[in-house]
């Protein structure tokens, strides 16, 4: 467990990636009580400089011997590194908040979205898993609805930006867009198909049942975070030519009847949610609106008249912030509160 201190030695593992960079920015913006920030990445990033509170912090090589004296480590360096290095860090007394999928479904590791299940932090053993970006923004909105009317079933289609794959994917979208507008041939490298001016219904690997790993993550993670295996979830995840910000169309079936106005009232009071829903004025969530914002935007709230107790909503959020970096920092903040 984290020991109570005035300030903490904090590490970011995978500091030069899109999420790692965002973690440093969020720590600074939220005035997290950092005594010293240490940044780790692979050999090719050694010596790079990242600014933090007007100071220059040098990126170090990640090794097994770096965790002594570190209180909290935010990991965003991929599943293999997390599986290897997180247990090593915890043996040194460091608490790890891991952004990869490595520990999410481990029954001994809490999977936490602070607006939904902070209580699960009480039983952590040194590692806390940060959920999938598309799951995080969905459960923040589902939680108040589930508490009020008990959700039976969720059907979700995601529209996920290329930043969810990383910087190389963002570069590929930029380069393909430029090349196509200049009548040049393109060759997909990051994705199996052209991403510019296209939609690809394929995120992560396909499994034997025809679903992708991303879709299965949304199903299993939602049940674990919400603490209710009875919620039925089915997902279709799609990569779209957007640089930053994930959107989702969600159909929700509840046990008790909720009107659209009742849902608006619930969500207007929900932590981490911003109701942005005046379609007659062209006001509804857009990924461009959410860039750099902490909230999950919710709109297009309407009743599904094809079932007895159904609601349709459209949500958007910054996948690098609430979908990754911000959620990890919020977990660390809760750990300090509980210390």
Q: Tell me which residues are annotated as active site.
A: 133, 246
What is the H or E stretch that residue 36 is in? strand 34-41
CA distance 94 to 78: 19
CB 295 within 8 A of CB 271: no
CA nearest to 66, candidates 55, 77, 56: 77
- Residue 248 burial by CB count (10 A; 0-12/13-18/19+): exposed, middle or buried? buried
CA distance 330 to 22: 13
CB 89 within 8 A of CB 73: yes
What is the H or E stretch that residue 296 is in? strand 296-303
Going across the sheet that includes 49-52, the strands are: 49-52, 55-61, 34-41, 8-13, 72-75, 95-98, 127-129
Please compute, for residue 77, the number of CA atoms within 13 A of its CA located in the half-sphere on the CB side.
Answer: 27
CA nearest to 52, candidates 78, 66, 32: 32
- Residue 53 burial by CB count (10 A; 0-12/13-18/19+): exposed, middle or buried? exposed
Please name the residue that has the structure tokens 């999977």.
111
Q: Residues 9-18, buried b or exposed e (16+ Cβ, 10 A)?
A: bbbbbbbbbb
């Amino acid at each position: 467990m984290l020991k109570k201190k005035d300030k903490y030695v904090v590490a970011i593992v995978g500091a030069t990636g899109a999420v790692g960079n965002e973690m440093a920015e969020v720590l600074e913006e939220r005035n997290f009580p950092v005594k010293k920030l240490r940044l780790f990445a692979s050999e090719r990033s050694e010596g790079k400089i990242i600014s933090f509170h007007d100071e220059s912090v040098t990126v170090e090589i990640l090794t097994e011997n770096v965790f002594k004296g570190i209180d909290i480590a935010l990991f965003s360096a991929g599943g293999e590194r997390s599986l290897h290095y997180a247990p090593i860090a915890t043996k040194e007394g460091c608490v790890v908040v891991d952004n990869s999928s490595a520990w999410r479904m481990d029954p001994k590791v809490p999977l936490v979205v602070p607006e939904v299940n902070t209580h699960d932090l009480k039983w952590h053993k040194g590692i806390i898993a940060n959920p999938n970006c598309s799951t995080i923004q969905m459960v923040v909105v589902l939680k108040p609805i589930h508490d009020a009317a008990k959700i039976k079933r969720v059907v979700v289609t995601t529209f996920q930006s290329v930043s969810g794959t990383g910087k190389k994917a963002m570069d590929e979208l930029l380069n393909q867009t430029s090349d196509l507008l200049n009548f040049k041939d393109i060759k997909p490298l990051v994705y199996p198909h052209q991403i510019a001016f296209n939609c690809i219904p394929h995120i992560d690997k396909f499994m034997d049942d025809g679903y992708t790993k991303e879709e299965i993550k949304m199903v299993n993670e939602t049940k674990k975070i919400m603490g209710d295996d009875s919620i039925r979830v089915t997902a279709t995840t799609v990569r779209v030519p957007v640089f930053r910000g994930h959107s989702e169309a969600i159909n929700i079936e509840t046990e008790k009847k909720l009107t659209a106005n009742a849902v608006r009232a619930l969500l207007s009071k929900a932590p981490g949610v911003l109701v942005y829903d005046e379609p007659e004025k062209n006001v509804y969530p857009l990924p461009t609106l959410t860039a750099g914002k902490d909230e999950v935007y919710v709109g297009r709230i309407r009743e599904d008249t094809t079932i007895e107790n159904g609601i349709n909503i459209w949500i958007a959020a910054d996948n690098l912030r609430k979908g990754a970096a911000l959620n990890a920092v919020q977990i660390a903040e809760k750990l300090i509160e509980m210390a």
